[in-house]
Amino acid sequence: APATGSGVLAGLDPDQRAAAEVPDGPLLIVAGPGTGKTRTVTHRLAHLVLERGVPAQHCLAITFTRRAAEEMTERLHALIGAQAQRMTVATFHSFGLQVLREHHGELGLGADFGLADAARQQEILTAITGDERSARKAKAQLSPVRRGGEADPDIEAVLAAYLSGLREQNLVDFDDLVVLAVQLLTDHPDIAEQYRRRYRWITVDEYQDVDELQYRLLRLIAPAGANLTAIGDPDQAIYSFRGADVGFFLCFERDYPSAPVLALTRNYRSGAHILDGAIRAIAPSTLVADRRLHPASGRAAHRIAAHQADDERAEAAFVARTIDQLLGGASFHSLDSGRVLGDGPGGIGFNDIAVLYRADSQSHAILDELTRCGLPVQKRSHDRLSARPGVDLLVRELLHVAERTGPVTDQLRMAAKTVTDTVPEDTRPDVHTAVELLGPLAQRCGEDVQRFCRDVLLGAEVDTLDPRAEAISLLTLHAAKGLEFPVVFLVGCEDGLLPLRWPGTEPTEDEVAEERRLFFVGMTRAQDHLYLTRAALRTIRGSAQDRQPSPFLSTLGETTTQTETAARRRRRPAQLTLL
């Protein structure tokens, strides 16, 4: 359907537009991947501000990752200009941080409280448990408990000692950001009321992955009848291991009974075969009763390519070779010039390509091979606030902000380089050192230095991928949610990885369903080209294992063409003779 109307909603189709125009009160939008959920919610905010006179500072947009928040800010900027800066676009954690910062006194935190990095957490826990192994084990058990899970008395005691260890050093940890915000707003109804007055319009994207604490936070700032828009896809719920629960869709309908429930049905992202394949893949465990999802992208419908390689090396080599072909065979050589936009036949560049995997350990073979071929790669790091990436990211962020506020001079670039070069490798972002060094640069950006730097450093923890970098993205399937790429390689489509199986155990039915949703999320990131690869033999923890194809592959039917590496075909002359 063509876009209709004029004004800021002109880029939406009639269903999206209807959703964006719902006047007041709660609203639930349930729709499949690529149907423009994020686009609709962004345009809704722009429409509120530009066409309905809602002051931008009354809008709070919650997204799931820092990168998603960044993208939304940029899109809002394009739609409504400078007013976008007055909106709050946050993740649940960065919103929690804001609440803590504004009310640290009530929580007994010093004004300059910091965020404990993984090393500091480990240090505190080791002091409590006596050795590093027990500390790691305890750490894994704490998060679920803090989200309201059951705990035995031993863990409760460790938690209490750990928290007082943190507070002695005026630190909070990542979980604290939401836990303490909920505690504060529960204990101080007057403060909760202030937030409700400030944020009269709230949107939550990727709603399917809220967990219990986040839902409680939401209820505190958006009671029944509030102008709350929740938007999501139950079939993309992939965080139940972290406490997310699609049951919160049901909670929404119960707690916001006046909310209309709207659907979007046109997928603008993927070619028809990719979409068809993805729908077949999710079908056995779909949570959406009457899924209507039709291709609307007008993209060439390339079939999904399923490729079996001999082993993980050959799988990585296939990825590298295919990328080279897609880029017109120029990519391996043209890097000498420093900056390459692999302008392949379809105008494909490096940042149009993503390699997705289930387990982080899979990334090594891929990273090695792509790097060996001279292909630029960026991998999302889950390193928690290690100093180096933190500072690098900070500098990059400051430069981006600076770019928006005016020309970036060589002098500024030099200043940035000096910071990157001089912050010692072994600094643990000691935030204060970084702030001191970055002060002049940050001031140039017209920001409150302390606050901005701390935000960025905190953000560095959740997300260190730069969408603007001219590089191939390496991502876990979890990290890929919400994103899209013209070319996607989903590697390791094998039983044991998809679904993931821990040694000596069988996944439960629920776990298989969640793995299937993860596979669905991965497939639906692709716009034009989707490659599902697997290895016949994979070395896992030092031992070579025969691998079977992922059972999810068998659902794909004629949406998919199969290939194998030449080496393997050659090894089976008997079959060829038979033909």
Q: Which residues are annotated as a binding site for ATP?
A: 31-38
**Binds ligand ATP (CB under 6 A): choice among 8, 20, 29, 38:** 38
Stretch that binds ligand ATP, among 8-16, 241-249, 346-354, 405-413 (CB under 6 A): 8-16
Backbone conformation region of residue 206, classed left if phi is above 0, alpha if psi is from -120 to 50, else beta? left
* Shorter beta-carbon distance to ligand ATP: residue 39 or 139: 39
Q: Is the dihedral of CA 519, 521, 522, 528 positive or negative?
A: positive
Among 183, 236, 242, CA closest to 513: 236
* Shorter beta-carbon distance to Mg ion: residue 71 or 310: 71
Stretch that binds Mg ion, among 29-37, 298-306, 382-390, 431-439 (CB under 5 A): 29-37
Q: List beta partners, residue 530.
A: 488
Question: Closest residue (Cβ) to ligand ATP?
Answer: 36
* Buried/exposed 232-262: b ≥16 CB within 10 Å, e otherwise: bbbbbbbbbeebbbbebbebbeebbeebeeb
Using CB under 5 A as the binding criterion, the count of chain residues that bind Mg ion stands at 3
Question: Measured between alpha carbons, how far is 533 from 308 in angstroms, rounded to an integer?
Answer: 6
* Shorter beta-carbon distance to ligand ATP: residue 63 or 121: 63
- Which one of ligand ATP, Mg ion, none interacts with residue 211, CB within 5 to 8 A by kind? none
**Binds ligand ATP (CB under 6 A): choice among 8, 15, 29, 34:** 34
* Buried/exposed 143-162: b ≥16 CB within 10 Å, e otherwise: ebbbbeeebeeebeebbebb
- Which one of ligand ATP, Mg ion, none interacts with residue 13, CB within 5 to 8 A by kind? ligand ATP
Q: Six-digit token pair at 373? A: 């071929």
Question: Measured between alpha carbons, how far is 156 from 143 in angstroms, rounded to an integer?
Answer: 12
**Binds ligand ATP (CB under 6 A): choice among 3, 127, 250, 283:** 3
Among 48, 117, 52, 108, CA closest to 84: 48
Integer angstrom CA distances of residue 430 from 94, 109, 387, 422, 457: 19, 18, 7, 14, 10
Integer angstrom CA distances of residue 175 from 96, 139, 171: 10, 12, 12
Q: How far apart are CB 207 and Mg ion at their closest, in Å? A: 10
| Binding site listing | 31-38
Q: How far apart are CB 64 and Mg ion at their closest, in Å? A: 9
Q: How far apart are CB 15 and ligand ATP at their closest, in Å? A: 9
Stretch that binds ligand ATP, among 29-37, 79-87, 176-184, 384-392 (CB under 6 A): 29-37
- Which one of ligand ATP, Mg ion, none interacts with residue 3, CB within 5 to 8 A by kind? ligand ATP
Residue 4, number of CB atoms within 10 A of its CB: 13
* Shorter beta-carbon distance to ligand ATP: residue 197 or 468: 468
Among 80, 37, 24, CA closest to 56: 80
Among 463, 478, 459, CA closest to 96: 459
Q: Which of residues 452-481 bind ligand ATP (CB under 6 A)?
A: none
506 CB-near residues (< 8 Å, 6+ apart): none
Using CB under 6 A as the binding criterion, the count of chain residues that bind ligand ATP stands at 19
DSSP assignment string, 399-457 = HHHHHHHS---HHHHHHHHHHHHHS-TT----HHHHHHHHHHHHHHTTS-HHHHHHHHH
Question: Closest residue (Cβ) to Mg ion?
Answer: 38
By CB atoms closer than 10 A (0-12, 13-18, 19+), residue 396 is middle
Say whether residue 268 binds ligand ATP (CB under 6 A).
yes
* Shorter beta-carbon distance to ligand ATP: residue 71 or 176: 71
Q: How far apart are CB 224 and Mg ion at their closest, in Å? A: 26
Integer angstrom CA distances of residue 82 from 56, 86, 123: 10, 8, 44
* Shorter beta-carbon distance to ligand ATP: residue 208 or 214: 208
Q: How far apart are CB 517 and Mg ion at their closest, in Å? A: 15
* Shorter beta-carbon distance to Mg ion: residue 37 or 266: 37
* Shorter beta-carbon distance to ligand ATP: residue 68 or 135: 68
**Binds ligand ATP (CB under 6 A): choice among 8, 9, 13, 487:** 13
Say whether residue 39 binds ligand ATP (CB under 6 A).
yes
Say whether residue 482 binds Mg ion (CB under 5 A).
yes
Stretch that binds Mg ion, among 37-45, 235-243, 488-496, 515-523 (CB under 5 A): 37-45
* Shorter beta-carbon distance to ligand ATP: residue 461 or 484: 484
Residue 289, number of CB atoms within 10 A of its CB: 6
Q: How far apart are CB 219 and Mg ion at their closest, in Å? A: 23
Contact 13, 36 (CB under 8 A): yes
Stretch that binds Mg ion, among 4-12, 221-229, 482-490, 547-555 (CB under 5 A): 482-490
Q: Six-digit token pair at 144? A: 């679920």
* Shorter beta-carbon distance to Mg ion: residue 442 or 521: 521
Say whether residue 12 binds ligand ATP (CB under 6 A).
yes
H or E segment to which residue 535 belongs: strand 526-540
Stretch that binds ligand ATP, among 30-38, 286-294, 345-353, 462-470 (CB under 6 A): 30-38
Among 64, 26, 90, CA closest to 249: 26
Contact 525, 485 (CB under 8 A): yes
Query: What is the binding site for Mg ion (CB under 5 A)?
Result: 37-38, 482
Query: What is the binding site for ligand ATP (CB under 6 A)?
Result: 3, 11-13, 16, 31, 33-39, 233, 236, 268-269, 482, 484
